[in-house]
């Protein structure tokens, strides 16, 4: 194949139905996972309750606002 054949092949219109199905399936999987996290109370257990954090150099301030950030995210999801 030469360059012109490749260009014409790449510029041909294609059906996007496969991409639509993948995006819908991915969205449903994410929705199911969010519902599981709420039902099992994993959000609070894994993101709000832990008292031990692993700070990196320059991110020592990160543990100060984790609980507040998680609360804001939860409120954003609810409303």
pLDDT by residue for the chain (79 residues), tens only, comes to: 688 899 998 899 999 999 999 999 999 999 999 999 999 999 888 878 877 666 667 666 566 666 777 777 778 877 7
C-alpha dihedral sign at 20, 25, 31, 37: negative
Residue 3: the pLDDT is 87
SS3 63: helix
User: Among residues 76, 66, 65, which one has the least CA distance to residue 34?
Assistant: 76
Specify whether the CB–CB gap between 70 and 47 falls below 8 A.
Answer: yes
């Amino acid at each position: 194949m030469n360059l012109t054949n490749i260009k014409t092949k790449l510029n041909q219109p294609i059906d996007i139905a496969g991409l639509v199905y993948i995006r819908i399936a991915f969205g449903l999987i994410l929705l199911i996972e969010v519902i599981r996290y709420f039902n099992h109370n994993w959000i609070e257990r894994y993101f709000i309750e832990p008292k031990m954090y692993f700070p990196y150099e320059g991110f020592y301030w990160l543990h100060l606002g984790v609980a507040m950030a998680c609360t804001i995210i939860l409120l954003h999801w609810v409303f």
